[in-house]
Structure 1
């Protein structure tokens, strides 16, 4: 089974802080790539209640479906690679596959994949850079009517990684702004839009 433990620390950035970080790490426009995230849940939000996240992600030449489940440190990620065409079909028909690692895990958790449908999407322009501390990602994201910036550091160890993340922010002269994850931000902005109707 394709499973891995994701331990990452993140902070929201202002546009100025984002530009500073891009400049500090000598990133160019060609270092950025676009990924489209499509999030799924049931009408009664079974996944959100369990703090799970399910997304289909498409990039220029490949795609994947990922189920994220809370773990003692970080998140357990269950993945299946997809062709871009298969991913687009899943999104268009809102019908998940009936095979693969994600399907197997959902089934073992008692979640019927036929009850899951598209609840929203988010587009991210991302640059990644390998650092001694871990994998740095600088993200610019658009969802609903929102547009934000974020810095993530994916690490191997939660305790050491947290210290190195704070040191990195200090080096960049950035104050930590705790950030809900992308699916939570997308859902919150969607809920706010619903409340305004």
Structure 2
């Protein structure tokens, strides 16, 4: 289970937070390749499927809404397995196919595009602070994520963090939702 709070940032707010909490040379690069059926069947269930590429390798992740957070199913992929998903929409993992079977997809999965992120992470007393600069489908956006163990305590700490830096609370959709909405507009 992942419990996190999110807030979109302006470029200036992002730079301000990076000056306070981190350095550009402490960032990591990652890429997310998103998959769904041509009619966005996973999205209609509030779910998302991605391959995340990092220096450590490739991980296929299915995110599904559950209670106050997201249920995540992770499977490591080889280059060949990732290639099969990109080319043919095939997944070799029994565990992932079992999770996906609950959605009763009527069409094959297809690659929708890539979102690249430069990420900075630091542990604070109340949770993990994450600052992301993301590029996808001609868009650049900035985001603060705050990952916590408990919803109530995390919500309070997140609100205090925003107030401390005079950042207004903004309704913020997950990266994949922002990506999918942009993708739907560009089709």
TM over 0.5: yes
Cα distance in structure 1, aligned partners of 2:14 and 2:24: 13
Partner residue in 1 for 2:11: 15
Matched, 1:30 2:19: no
1:69 to 64, 77, 83: 64
In structure 2, do the counterparts of structure 1 residues 75 and 176 end up closer, same or farther at CA, with 3 Å as the change threshold? same
Counterpart contact for 1:144–1:189, Cα < 8 Å: yes
Unaligned segments of structure 2, at least 5 residues: none
Structure 1 Cα separation of the partners of residues 80 and 161 of structure 2: 39
Q: 1:13 to 1:162 in 2, by over 3 A?
A: same
Structure 1 stretches of 4+ with a deviation exceeding 4 A read none
Aligned to 1:150: 143
Match of 1:107 in 2: 101
- 2:82 equivalent to 1:98: no
TM-score normalised by L of structure 2 = 0.92
| Contact 1:135–1:153 under 8 Å retained in 2 | yes
Structure 2 CA distance for partners of 1:77 and 1:45, relative to 1, 3 Å: same
Cα distance, 1:39 vs. partner?
A: 0.7
| Aligned with residue 159 of structure 1, among 145, 152, 169 | 152
Supply the RMSD in Å over aligned alpha carbons: 1.7
Cα deviation for residue 180 of structure 1 reads 1.1
| TM-score, structure 1 as length reference | 0.88
Q: Count residues with an aligned counterpart.
A: 187
Q: Could you tell me how far apart the structure 1 residues matched to 2:8 and 2:84 are?
A: 30
